[in-house]
Structure formats: C-alpha cells, structure tokens
Amino acid sequence: MSDRRADFPALLAELKPECDALIAQYEQPRSALLPIIHLFQSREGYTSPEAMRAAAAMLDLTPAVVESTVSFYTLFFRRPVGKYVLQVCRGLSCSISGANDIMAYFREKLGIGHLQTTQDGLFSYEEVECLAACDKPACMQVNLEFVYSLTPAIVDEMIAAMRAGTYATAPMAQTDAPGKTWQVDQNDEVSTGGKSKGARDVSDPDNAGGLGDKAGVIMLDRIVDRDFAFRGRTSERVVLEEPAQIKELVNEDAHH
C-alpha cells in the first residue's frame, strides 16, 4: 500500500462501528455494500482502492465484486475528484431541453471537458446518462445533489458561489490530490477503439479510467495487491486473507 494512504487504517478504525451498524440492518451482510461505500466516499471524497478492499473484507466479498459494483454507478468516483463534481445529464429529455448548450457552456467556462478536473482541483466535470429527473430538464448533480432547469445564468451563479466558497452543497472531502487525474482527451470519445469512454490517452499510469483500459488494470492491481493472500476457495468465491490491520478490525467482534 502506498505511503500516501498511510492514514487509511485510522479512518477504517473510526468508521468500523458505523459499518457494523449498517451490516446489522440487513439479512445478508453483502446488502450493506452500497451504504458502506457511500460512507467511505463521504469521508475520502472518492472510493479508494483501500476502501474497496476494506468493504470486501468486511462483507466476505472479493475486491473484484466490490469494484464491479462500484464501477456500475456514476454515484461513486474511483479516482480522486475535485471539490465540486459537476455531472450534467446528456439523456434524451435533457438533450431536447438545452443540455447540449449547457454542456458546451460548462466546458467553455471551466476550460475542461468530460471526465476532467481543473488544475486547481476545484471542479471535476462529467457528462452522464439519464439521472431519472426527466421532468425537470436540463438537470445535473453537484456532489450528488440535484440541480434542475439549468440555464447559463444558473451555471454562472453556481460556479461563482463555488469559487467563493459559499455554495450550499458541501465540497467533497479531499484525501488525495485530484490535480493529476481525469486529464483525459475527450475530443474523440465516440470512436474509442474498444476502450471505455473517458479512458483514451490516459497519461498518468496512476489514473484509473475503468476496466478495459490499462489504467483500469492498474487500479485493479492496487485493489488486489500483495496485502492479500488467498486462504481458500469455494465454488462461488475466492476467500481472501485480509491485510493484518483490516483482519484485526473485522474479526474484533468474533473474539468478544
């Protein structure tokens, strides 16, 4: 595990009781996966490989199962993001209600494109599929909070408030530098040669763009790193030996 995440064990120890409480609410422990990931993301600002491994250990799932779940949702960020994550809907209802103009306005105003973060680490920008708020187009999510009926004036007001630190929605926590991430060329996102959208021209090997591209494989390597040793296999899953500290925390209750 890299030095920059040396603080993770302390965070895990702090959040473990809350995780236990979440697990206790469900008949099957694995049902607590999404709330647990939300909990870690609310503290780290993104869903780190360490958080995914910890969730896997607590729920007796493989890290790959956790990673595949996390990668399914635009609600989870698998790489460090800016203080404000701006996710604009590009679905049909929003598209016919001015979303294309709004997206172009955001790109111009921020100087970044889809899946990019400003150099100052303040904004990450993403164009996402239908956000299920089609009755209030054009819409977006800011740090997962909805904003409806977008106009350029609303965008101006929003960006100004974020820059001034007065925007109503709280900024994302920052435990890792977002500045070097999401530097992805999106000029030709349609023809991606089989790579996932947003993963072209990833220049930073530590920038995980998703499965199917080199950066995504690197992310998986970080999740399933040498801290894990296989201790057994069932027909359904590989059972993992947790890193010492995680194991200690997870098994705490069993010894009492």
Which positions lie near ligand FES, rule CB under 6 A?
Answer: 89, 91-94, 130-134, 137, 139
Which tokens belong to 206?
A: 């530590």
Residue 35 or 152 with smaller CB distance to ligand FES: 152
Q: How far is the CB of 139 from ligand FES (least distance, A)?
A: 5
Beta bridge partners of 86: 125, 142
Residue 93 or 192 with smaller CB distance to ligand FES: 93
Residue 36 or 85 with smaller CB distance to ligand FES: 85
Tell me the C-alpha distance between 246 and 220, whole Å: 19
Q: How far is the CB of 115 from ligand FES (least distance, A)?
A: 18
Residue 136 or 180 with smaller CB distance to ligand FES: 136
Q: How far is the CB of 73 from ligand FES (least distance, A)?
A: 15
Tell me the C-alpha distance between 91 and 70, whole Å: 21
Q: How far is the CB of 123 from ligand FES (least distance, A)?
A: 20
Q: How far is the CB of 126 from ligand FES (least distance, A)?
A: 14
Residue 122 or 139 with smaller CB distance to ligand FES: 139
Beta bridge partners of 88: 127, 140
Number of other residues whose CB lies within 10 A of the CB of residue 157: 12
Q: Is the CB of residue 227 less than 8 Å from the CB of residue 8?
A: no
Alpha-carbon separation of residue 74 from 45, 128, 141 (angstroms): 14, 8, 10
Residue 30 or 136 with smaller CB distance to ligand FES: 136
Q: How far is the CB of 137 from ligand FES (least distance, A)?
A: 5
Q: How far is the CB of 138 from ligand FES (least distance, A)?
A: 7
Residue 127 or 242 with smaller CB distance to ligand FES: 127
